[in-house]
Chain A
């Protein structure tokens, strides 16, 4: 632990736990930064936020914010957050987790939380691998990439996360990157203020795992995000993602629908008629 650090975001962070554990150049630090910057600029009541995370490098994010926070089991951040959201509608769960935690082991919970339109903001750090356990392939790893469990190249077709989540019923869907920090922060602000299931995919470099194994330096990966990502206003199913070639990013969906809690309230009223 470092001694007391004078930082304008100190009230939003558990600075007694800094420097954080993420590797040099890891996008998760930028995601964390964007998140607390959004809270700061909104002057958001920190007692109304619960930061929830799953397992993995992204899962460590909940331990660094100065809000009520919980680090759940692998893949189960979303149902945990559902328990919060439906129990106390004053609380806004913010889930920060990785592509594997949310879409592999947690995939089933993801589609149902989106389908139910549970009020929460989900920030998905997509670094194209399972970083914490040593860069194994996951549901977003591009075809042919080498990882320790795909030593001859990945044979599985990856998901298009924004397309999947939008099809499941999410009412706000965006894709940004850790290079596009201002847009990312603005989307986070919108998601924080929105009542509904909001999802932001954030492309992020895994510098010591995926990057190193595929011979990409941290700066190469960031430059890649800057140069290959094109901001477009399209339907999520058209927001194609070909890492290294062309990735469509932007705010794709922002609609209003009753949240699950709204509907539960309606059921309560109906049941006593």
Chain B
């Protein structure tokens, strides 16, 4: 099942807000580095995502987008 949220790796600066504040702990820190050398988050519990949109709005770098689903 595709993730409801997507990370644009090139924009991430690694602030960690998505990891910290997601109510369903969808994100976790990974060791993957983007082109700027920033360790970016990865989506590990994508099926628990409730599409609240907090990560999309809290990400200061526009690096998270949410897929449109039929429920909206």
Contact = CB atoms under 8 A, between A and B. Distances in A.
Contacts of B8: 5, 7
Interface in B19-64: 20-21, 36, 38, 54, 57-62
Contacts of B60: 22, 24-30, 33, 178
Contacts of A178: 58, 60
20 contacts: A2-B11, A5-B11, A7-B62, A7-B65, A18-B11, A19-B36, A22-B60, A25-B13, A25-B16, A26-B60, A29-B59, A30-B60, A33-B60, A185-B57, A207-B15, A218-B15, A219-B16, A219-B20, A222-B17, A222-B20
Interface of B: 8, 10-11, 13-17, 20-21, 36, 38, 54, 57-62, 65
Interface string A111-151: 00000000000000000000000000000000000000000
Contacts of A28: 60
A181 interface: yes
Interface of A: 2, 5, 7-9, 13, 18-20, 22-30, 33-34, 37, 178-179, 181-182, 185, 207, 218-219, 222-223, 226
Contacts of A8: 65
Contacts of B13: 19, 23-25
A22 B62 CA distance: 12
Contact of A9 (B14, B58, B62): B62
Contacts of A25: 13, 15-17, 60
A24 B25 CA distance: 20
Contacts of B62: 7, 9, 13, 18, 29, 33
Contact of B57 (A23, A24, A182, A207): A182
B12 to A, nearest CB: 8
A104 B24 CA distance: 42
A179 to B, nearest CB: 7
Nearest to B52: A182
3 tightest CB-CB pairs across the interface, nearest first? A29-B60, A25-B15, A24-B13
Contacts of B15: 24-25, 207, 218
Contacts of A223: 20
Nearest to B20: A219
A254 B15 CA distance: 35
Nearest to B66: A8
